[in-house]
Structure 1
Amino acid sequence: MAKRSLKASPLGINQAKKAFERIGWTQEYLAAEVGLSTRQPVWKFFSGKPIERNTFIDLCFQLSLDWQDIADSPPLPPREKSDASLEPKIATSTSKSDRLVSQVRSQISGQIEAQCSTIQSFFEFAQPLDLDNIYTEQNVLTRLSNQRWLEISDLQSSRQRSLADLTKETIPALKAVTKHQKLMLLGKPGAGKTTFLQYLALECIREKFKADCVPVFIPLRTFVLQAKECEDFSLLGYLNRFWDNYNLSATEITTLLQQGKVLILLDGLDEIPPEYEQKIFQQILQFSQLYYQNSLVITCRLAGQQYRFNGLSYVELADFNRNQVEIFAQKWFIATAYDAQTGKAKAQQFLEQLQDKNNQAIRELVSTPILLNLICSVFQERLSFPDKRARLYQEGLDILLVRWDRSRGIERDSAYHRLALADKIKLLSHIAAVNFEQDRYFLEAEQLLQTIADYLATLANFSPDPESLRLDSQEILRAIEIQHGLLIERARGIYSFSHLTFQEYLTARKIVSSLNPEELNHALEQLASHITNPQWREVILLTASMLSNADYLIQQLKKQVDTILQQEPLLQKFLQFINQKTEVLSIPYKPAAVRAFYFSLFSNRDLNLPIALDSQLAKELPNDLALDLALEKAYDLALSLVKNPNIKQILNFSFALEFESNLILSPDIKQALNNLKKTLPDPAQGKEYLLTWWLTNGDDWVNKFRQAINEYRYFDLSWNFNSDQQELLHKYYINNQFLLQCLDSNFNLTFIIQKTTKDTFFLGK
């Protein structure tokens, strides 16, 4: 039997003190972390004096130490006289215990399989899914995210669409259960807490994990209902009633518990009605202390832990990483397909589309298992993600706000109940928009509470008294975190939305919620002013998709794009040039696409936008465009030679001038180019002569080359943009790309606005 008290060895004391110095806590703070009212046990711990076993283990966990490495393990005292007669009794006792475990495991095997081997999907399928077919190994964070002492600047420096990697220290969840005899498993809604307990129960009954134990899976909300009926809230009473169905006597049950032969899995501590929380906490605490030899795992939502269980190690389920997402998706599509081959093909398509750059916001959501399940279901039918992402995000929001708790029969009571569903969404939208507008993704608790209070003050069913508003705000913030997991404490006193995608969606929803046309137009004008900020692009796309008519927003976006070059006369002149150049040409292509082509020649030579404006350009460039592209490349190489002549560049330039065989040149430009080529030095004259010639005559030759192109091709190559102007050109180009993405999305646009906007690309003001 394990000792009831432990003390640290001299070496262990040294290790513990070093760990204590590293984290920088006080003894009082460490005592509070393990639920102690005094620091005396902490002092004894560091002094090498015996303290209660569970407290010793908990202190080691808080210091990230293995208690077995720290504890002093004195040798057992030698027996004065060997009593061989005792050994058969011990063997007999062990043998009886093993037989009892084997008997009970055999009896309850069917019940555990029925209780834990399937999960019910409430998305698409009426039939449950076999857990064996879709379970994906999970990881846990060894340090709770909301217990970290960080500043917003620490989090902001690692800001990314997915926050799954903000906390790096993870280990496999099964390893955590193996390492810690008593474990509190925390996690967001839909993170997979219940599924993991089901998995543990199955692994145990199938002799793959703790094969010498009897698993008991207890949903705590069910436990409370039964306890109310029989007016017995003790866990021992529950086990007696449960195992009475298998004709186990109270003595046999006590034997199992005293021998540490039970794996107790308590699911959903946060789902207990508030009036029973204290009572259930006391029952679990007493039971775990009385029968401390048994393994215990409790699950609870991250913000739902009201009480500190002394002796339990606390870990947090981590978000899925990319590898886990891929494994789950492959298993899910195979499990839901008619045959494995079809499932594999669908999974491959799903994963390929998920990695597309346009699906970044969706890719962020799949780190949460419940949302990954949803997204797989949505993809299943059309083998593509929906064009209007807002519908997908609304579905995800609906799951977290309503359906997840409802599907599990959970009812919660708090000030939050005084908010109708519509008000909850408005509140969340208000929080999202206010902070997104100020480029705040991570929020101080005080800021967040004030934002909630400001909103509650506008509602008739909340008292305007500041203190009442503050208390209601605190209760509502906690309810949002526990019930929906939409707002999460990322570090002590610092919150954010669980996914940036939800903050973007709710911000867009706030923008389109106005029923007043003037207010809506003003909001759309404000939104359009953010077009040059990449962080607002998803909000713009979502807003456009939710508008019954997106014409005005598109017009405002076009207006903002055109103002990018408005203050630069040279750049406005450049736009006039490419328009005039386009008008001179007589080719059957859309003028906007041709203007985009010439614009790209002087910025990045990216032909994606011209092709997007006119797909005919993807098949074959017309001779005029191909010739000007070749001339511009040759001119660019010539400029490089003037600045830094070298043999490799000279050879490249010679090849660049050989385009007559592939392109049709008019007689005048052909003659002019041939005359210029004759003035170039003969390569046979040697390297030194070539380099000297370009240093001496290069400028003059390049000027003549440019003049010939301008005269015979009406193609001015003398645009010398400085770095600021080049940056503006790049910004103008990429924002036109984004505007075209908006136009080509499945938004509610009139044909005339769509056509007019495209036709005026690259015309400027």
Structure 2
Amino acid sequence: MTSQGLRASPEGIRAAKIALTDKTLSQHKLAVSLGITRQPVSKFFAGEPVSRSCFVQICQKLGLSWQKIASLSEDVAFQVGTKVNAESIDLDKLVCEIRQKRQDKVQDQCSTLQMLDIAQPIPLVEIYTSLNVLEEITSQKWLEISELLKDFSPEINFNRIGGDKQPRKLPALEAALRYSKLMILGKPGSGKTTFLQYLATECNNRQFQPHRIAVFIRLKEFAEDAKSESEFNLLKFISQEFLSCGIDEKSTTTILAQGKALILLDGLDEVASSHADKVTRELRRFTQYFYKNQFVISCRIAAQQYRFMGFTEVEVADFSYEQVEIFVKNWFFAVAHKSREDGEATGNFFLHQLNLPENQPIREFAVTPLLLHLICLVFQGKAEFPSNQTNFYEQILNILLIRWDEVRGIKRVQSYHDLTSTAKKQLLSQIAAITFERRNYFFEQENIQQFITEYLGNFGSIDIDKSKVMLKEIEAQNGFFVERARGIYSFSHLTLHEYLTAKNIVHNYQLQAGKNLVNKITEKSWHNVFLLTVSMLTKTDEILWLMKHKIDSLVSAEVKIQDFLIWLCQKSSSVSTHYKAVAVRAFYLVCVGRTPQDNQFAQRFVQPCEHSLVDPTDAMTKKDKIRSCCKTRSFVHTPSYDLECALLGNIAFNPNLALDDFLISTLTCAGELNFAVKHSLNDTIAISFDHAHALNIAFNEALELVSESEFKQVLQKLKKQLPQIDSNSKKFQEWWQVNGKIWGRKLRSALIQYRNIGHDWQFNQQQMELLQQYYYANKLLVDCLNCAVNITPMLRQEIEEALLLANPTVKH
């Protein structure tokens, strides 16, 4: 052969053609690049003899070993296996033997998880939660921003995009059964590796693909172990892996050639960029040669570039509530080392706390397994979520930005990593602030690339192409951005968007920045940004006073509202109680919101829930009666969303407040009765009966608390005028149709005369909207007072004492 030159074998020609395609070359371009004529190249690919020097040059240019191309070697072994006489081998017996020899190795590789900040490996079987996948890849949808916004609101957040039109989910295990070549795509920490390990252990235990041998390969390790070009060879890698378990190369080749392997290739995105092309090429070659086997490849969704022929791509879906519940209960058993019973009990308490309204921002992260693990870890110490959530969000930022790669030994040397971690955070914060200010929860690729380009200008770089690369790197490496449709991005979590916005405000805080933020005080979408900003500022006096002045200015020009605030102060001052004056003002502000003439106002700033002013010793009598019989008029008192409770805390019994509470409840029920009867609602009799029954309970409770004899006589007289409710509900409704309005006006007059409550303020629509904004803004200010870290008791007292008071400069 030497005298006649070298000849490529058929297998070598096939490998050379594949390499030619991979390098996007033609035979003509190959000849030009080598500085030789077309003839020797044509002969090479035709299997004819070529001079030794030309042969070697061609192979080197194609990145191939000339020795292997010229003779039967490792590449040819791909086909050697197919020549094995399958009839002479008992494949089932061979599979059993190999599985038995590899049983311990697969268990050692895949049966435990090394979880973030947990010292001991965790048994996979104890923590594993089944995944769902989406058969329609999110980033491949052709949607406009306007379509994404149809089913989005800041209150709902990104986890509910699409509303009832959520894409169809498929259990990941079912997808693995259905498709012989599967590409699992997902966001960082979505559970891809855990799923592949689960498949390996299930196969190893003959619970999944029992007639196949599990082969689990971390592609990062495969690439790192390859010391030369020739070692980017999966056949050789698997043969060596099997050889360590006492399995000879012939048996390995037979298993692969006959399609008896379940080959799980994990972390394509984790392969270093310098090895990426070689690994991709080898994966394509291997999966095509050994096509009879089952393959599952995992990769971060944004890092996927090459599409492997014949592979079905699916995307890991976010956790549903049921999956969160399973994961949490498993976590407190397996990771926290509690008994199964105690783990379930702790898990139930965790879920209860997670579902509280004030923990909605934390709840948003729970859809990702990695972040749900972190939430459980934080909760474990104190059996509660952190009061200062900014520290928790910063931990999430650091995990996604740095630590998740560090703990797995992944080094991504690309343009994005030219920036320090501080610079990366500033870049993300700047993008967050700009888009949030514009209410752009979704943004086109061109826009975000422009933001990146502008930021890079601070470092003397304005390379637009670099900004495109950097966007993809941010998406793939850290998961901060998610492609919601083709070319349309958002932050992965709304809470992250809000936190980064607040971080930018704090970083650039000046008086003007504070004023700009305060101008958003009535916009509910900015609620969390206010809280986060105040909790991060080292000095909060300025912004809190700016908020207070802005709130006062909302209603300063409305004479009627100012009159109302004067009454609010006078009424509150007349009541004997140990509560702060502002807390009592908040109580009567809510009372006004419940009075019938302001029913629309009440619906705007008071939400349905329970309320009690009863003695704890009587908690199962009056409280439960009102709750069960007067649900339509009761309203919210939760620490996160109601001003009154935020100021009062746990309300204990006070006769003056309790009396006015029950009297207002009676007046409210009367108004609701008028509404039900007037509008002839469906099932009017039943509805009227509920309101009448609630009215009767509230009125009786009020009568028990009245101490002034004249007022009590007036109320008793009004009570006697009401017909018996339980005897004939239809008769009561008929009586109310004739006499209800007159009876209600008499009750109102008595309340005004004896208790100075129940006034008909006759607010118009604009004034009601202003009061709604005023109430919300005051609640926001109180929340900020409660979360401000460096506030002095004196400043808190000064601001609280000035809340809900009329503007002294307004002339009446």
Aligned to 2:647: 613
Q: Residues 672-691 of structure 1, C-alpha deviation per residue, up to 9 Å, x if partnerless?
A: 6577789x69999x999999
Aligned to 1:476: 470
Aligned to 1:409: 409
Structure 1 position 317 matched with structure 2 position 350: no
Cα separation, 2, equivalents of 1:314 and 1:691: 64
TM-score normalised by the chain length of structure 1: 0.80
Secondary structure, aligned partner of 1:208: coil
Q: CA deviation at 1:590?
A: 2.0
Cα separation, 2, equivalents of 1:324 and 1:607: 30
Q: CA deviation at 1:353?
A: 0.7
Aligned to 1:625: 657
Aligned to 1:93: 88
Q: Could you say if the C-alpha distance between residues 290 and 475 of structure 1 is closer, same or farther in structure 2, counting changes exceeding 3 Å? A: same
Q: Could you say if the C-alpha distance between residues 717 and 131 of structure 1 is closer, same or farther in structure 2, counting changes exceeding 3 Å? A: same
Secondary structure, aligned partner of 2:782: helix
Q: Could you say if the C-alpha distance between residues 258 and 758 of structure 1 is closer, same or farther in structure 2, counting changes exceeding 3 Å? A: same
Q: CA deviation at 1:346?
A: 2.0
Aligned to 1:512: 506
Q: Residues 409-454 of structure 1, C-alpha deviation per residue, up to 9 Å, x if partnerless?
A: 1111221122111111100111111101111111111111111111
Aligned to 1:598: 588
Aligned to 1:137: 130
Q: CA deviation at 1:225?
A: 1.6
Q: Could you say if the C-alpha distance between residues 695 and 456 of structure 1 is closer, same or farther in structure 2, counting changes exceeding 3 Å? A: same
Aligned to 1:28: none
Q: CA deviation at 1:523?
A: 1.8
- Total equivalences in the alignment: 663
Q: CA deviation at 1:192?
A: 1.1
Cα separation, 2, equivalents of 1:346 and 1:699: 53
Cα separation, 2, equivalents of 1:631 and 1:419: 65
Aligned to 1:214: 213
Q: 1:492 aligns with which of 479, 486, 489?
A: 486
Q: CA deviation at 1:240?
A: 2.3
Q: CA deviation at 1:145?
A: 0.7
Q: 1:726 aligns with which of 751, 756, 768?
A: 768
Q: CA deviation at 1:217?
A: 0.9
Structure 1 position 569 matched with structure 2 position 559: yes
Aligned to 1:161: 157
The answer to whether the 8 A contact 2:98-2:213 is kept is yes
Q: CA deviation at 1:501?
A: 1.3
Q: CA deviation at 1:122?
A: 2.6
Q: Residues 102-145 of structure 1, C-alpha deviation per residue, up to 9 Å, x if partnerless?
A: 2211111111111111111232x211111111011111110111
Cα separation, 1, equivalents of 2:199 and 2:546: 56
Deviation larger for 652-661 or 504-513? 652-661
Cα separation, 2, equivalents of 1:399 and 1:149: 32
Query: Where does the alignment leave 5 or more consecutive residues of structure 2 unmatched?
Result: 1-23, 26-83, 595-633, 638-642, 679-684, 808-812
Q: Residues 470-521 of structure 1, C-alpha deviation per residue, up to 9 Å, x if partnerless?
A: 111001001101111111111100111111111111111111112xxxx423
Q: Could you say if the C-alpha distance between residues 683 and 411 of structure 1 is closer, same or farther in structure 2, counting changes exceeding 3 Å? A: closer
TM-score normalised by the chain length of structure 2: 0.76
Aligned to 1:536: 526
Query: Where does the alignment leave 5 or more consecutive residues of structure 1 unmatched?
Result: 1-35, 38-88
**For 1:105-144, what aligned pairs fall within 5 Å after superposition?**
105-123=99-117, 125-144=118-137
Cα separation, 1, equivalents of 2:528 and 2:743: 49
Amino acid at match of 2:535: S
Percent identical pairs in the alignment equals 40
Q: Could you say if the C-alpha distance between residues 552 and 93 of structure 1 is closer, same or farther in structure 2, counting changes exceeding 3 Å? A: farther
Aligned to 2:787: 745
Amino acid at match of 1:599: L
Q: Could you say if the C-alpha distance between residues 700 and 337 of structure 1 is closer, same or farther in structure 2, counting changes exceeding 3 Å? A: closer
Cα separation, 2, equivalents of 1:641 and 1:262: 73
Q: Residues 604-631 of structure 1, C-alpha deviation per residue, up to 9 Å, x if partnerless?
A: 3757343442347x22132x33343444
Cα separation, 2, equivalents of 1:179 and 1:653: 62
The answer to whether the 8 A contact 2:132-2:316 is kept is yes
Amino acid at match of 1:596: A
Aligned to 2:598: none
Q: CA deviation at 1:695?
A: 8.0
Secondary structure, aligned partner of 2:184: strand
Amino acid at match of 1:434: I
Amino acid at match of 1:457: G
Q: CA deviation at 1:579?
A: 0.8
Aligned to 2:516: 526
The answer to whether the 8 A contact 1:603-1:726 is kept is no
Cα separation, 2, equivalents of 1:371 and 1:304: 20
Aligned to 2:145: 152
Structure 1 position 250 matched with structure 2 position 260: no
Q: CA deviation at 1:585?
A: 3.3
Q: Could you say if the C-alpha distance between residues 562 and 290 of structure 1 is closer, same or farther in structure 2, counting changes exceeding 3 Å? A: same
Q: CA deviation at 1:669?
A: 3.4
Q: Could you say if the C-alpha distance between residues 585 and 195 of structure 1 is closer, same or farther in structure 2, counting changes exceeding 3 Å? A: closer
The answer to whether the 8 A contact 1:142-1:169 is kept is yes
Secondary structure, aligned partner of 2:705: coil
Deviation larger for 405-414 or 333-342? 333-342
Aligned to 2:451: 451
Q: Could you say if the C-alpha distance between residues 627 and 214 of structure 1 is closer, same or farther in structure 2, counting changes exceeding 3 Å? A: closer
Amino acid at match of 2:474: I
Q: How large is the RMSD of aligned CA atoms in angstroms?
A: 3.1
**For 1:323-334, what aligned pairs fall within 5 Å after superposition?**
323-334=322-333
Q: CA deviation at 1:405?
A: 1.1
The answer to whether the 8 A contact 1:262-1:294 is kept is yes
The answer to whether the 8 A contact 1:378-1:385 is kept is yes
Aligned to 1:300: 299
Structure 1 position 664 matched with structure 2 position 706: yes
The answer to whether the 8 A contact 2:132-2:170 is kept is yes
